[in-house]
Amino acid sequence: MFFGNVERLKWSSILPDTFLNYIHQALKIAQDNQENGRYEIDGDNVFCFLMTPETEAREERKTEIHRDYLDIQIILDGEETFGYSIETPQALLDKPDYTNDVLLFNEVGNESFISLRKGDFIIFYPGESHRPQCATREPMTVRKAVVKVHRDLI
């Protein structure tokens, strides 16, 4: 997991240039498009979802992991809290029944939380547990871009 802010990408030199490029492309897509949906960057290897989900109380949100795609989640407007943990049970990682590259589950040990605002981004690698769309204070609509990068490009 890595987090930062799009206004300070030059301080994110630990990230590969390709990731920085994907963030810039997602911001351009969001600037040029108001419609929610999938936008191609590099076919099925890299694409971006624009979305406006409603955040919910933490206990109402499920934790998720991905097998094949890394997430770069960029907050375009609003505020969202993410749960995350390094303690993903191996039994979950080995499950064959991922639907659309996501496996949802209820609990994960040693969970921490981080709140992000407009301009902040967070990166979750395949197999990293995360609980998105948690309300920071009260539920709100968040506009965000989620870039999906296939694990073969990592």
Q: pLDDT by residue (tens digit) across 91-134?
A: 777 777 778 899 888 878 899 999 999 999 999 999 999 999 99
Q: Does residue 16 carry a pLDDT above 80?
A: yes
Q: Has residue 90 got a pLDDT over 80?
A: no
Instruction: Tell me which residue of 134, 154, 133 sits closest to 144, measured CA to CA.
Output: 133
Q: Report residue 8: phi and psi, to 5°.
A: -125, 40
**What confidence tens digit (pLDDT) does each residue in 41-84 have?**
999 999 999 999 999 999 999 999 999 999 999 999 999 999 99
pTM: 0.93
Q: ∠ at Cα 88 (61, 66), nearest 5°?
A: 70
Query: What tokens does 71 get?
Result: 């997430």
- Give residue 86's pLDDT: 87
- More confident site: 63 or 12: 63
Sketch out the chain's domains with CATH numbers: 2-153 (2.60.120.370)
